[in-house]
Amino acid sequence: MKHHFLALVALALAVAPELVFANATDGPLEDRELLKRDVDSYKIFNRKRNAHACIMSIVFLVLYPLGAISVHLPIDRIPLLRNSYLKHKIMAIHAPIQILGLVMMIGGLALGIRIAHDLGFFNRSVPAHMIIGLIVTLTIIIFQPVMGILQHRYFKRTGGKSVFAYIHRWIGRFAILLGMINNGLGFQLAENDIEIPTKSYVRNFTILGVLVTVWLGLVIYDEFFQKPQSSRKLADKTTSSAVKKDSEESRRMDA
């Protein structure tokens, strides 16, 4: 009898967790405690979350800023590079970096959507991190490649900038800055059920600070120092051509 009782207790203990969590096993994984119930599921979920964080941090804190910085690099002032393939900054540096970032961002977006489903965000109030992330990623996916291609085609025909170039530039700048802010919101959201190491904040925001400083410095240099010099050179060249043409016409008239 005693053995039968022990067997029933063991069976009850074995079945109890399934009875308690039966309604949760087929639905979204709502919090850390439910995830921990199934160690394998929690490990997989945690890997997806870590992968999403790593991918999006690399994209918005490293790749996109580097792509933006590449446009303003003074390659024509570096003797070893001015006659190399890198003098074509857009096609040689900017486009490859941004394409890599775009592909990685789409992968990170897919992971983010899956994580949001696992946490049940689609069934309750949607966090700001998710809203901003969708707006930023979809804007980049839809507009940036199209504007970039249209500007490149215009440049090949005319050698100048079109309205597409300015749309591409300013959408990119705002999207990158929003993505950087959203990186911090993602950490804040994750802290609801895990502890983020301080070194993660230090690493991310140190990289962000350095690259944003370099980016801003090159933009200021390009806008206030490089462009006025180019404009003066163009004006001098135009004036010189006009003077030369007038001299030739005067000589013809004298003849």
- Per-position pLDDT tens, the chain of length 255: 444 434 433 433 333 333 333 333 344 445 555 545 565 577 888 889 999 999 999 999 999 999 999 998 888 888 888 888 888 888 889 999 999 999 999 999 999 999 998 888 888 888 999 999 999 999 999 999 999 999 989 998 998 889 999 999 999 999 999 999 999 999 988 888 788 888 888 888 899 899 999 999 988 888 787 665 554 444 444 445 544 555 555 555 555
Given this model, what pLDDT does residue 133 score? 95
AA identity, residue 135: I
Rounded CA-CA distance 177/206 in Å is 15
* Nearest in space to 95 (alpha carbons), one of 71, 74, 73, 72: 71
- Are the beta carbons of 176 and 71 closer than 8 angstroms? no
Question: Tokens standing for 97?
Answer: 């970096």
3-state secondary structure the chain: CHHHHHHHHHHHHHHHHHHHCHHHHCCCCCCHHHHHHCHHHHHHHHHHHHHHHHHHHHHHHHHHHHHHHHHCCCHHHCCCCCCCHHHCHHHHHHHHHHHHHHHHHHHHHHHHHHHHHHCCHHHCCCCHHHHHHHHHHHHHHHHHHHHHHHHHHHHHHHCCCCHHHHHHHHHHHHHHHHHHHHHHHHHHHHCCCCCCCHHHHHHHHHHHHHHHHHHHHHHHHHHHHHHHHHHHHHHHHHHHHHHHHHHHHHHHHHC
Residues 6+ apart with CB under 8 A from 152: 90
Per-residue pLDDT, 73: 86
The burial class, CB within 10 Å (0-12 / 13-18 / 19+), for 103 is exposed
d(CA 140, CA 146): 10
pLDDT of 225 reads 75
CATH 2.60.40 corresponds to the domain 33-219? no
Q: Tell me what pLDDT residue 1 has.
A: 45
Residues 6+ apart with CB under 8 A from 186: 53, 56, 129, 133
Q: Are 211 and 59 in contact (CB under 8 A)?
A: no
Contacts of residue 194, defined as CB under 8 A and 6 or more positions apart, other chains included, come to: 32
Q: What pLDDT score was predicted for residue 167?
A: 94
Q: Where do the domains of the chain lie?
A: 33-219
Residue pair 67/98 in contact (Cβ under 8 Å)? The answer is: yes
Tokens 């790593």 sit at which residue? 54
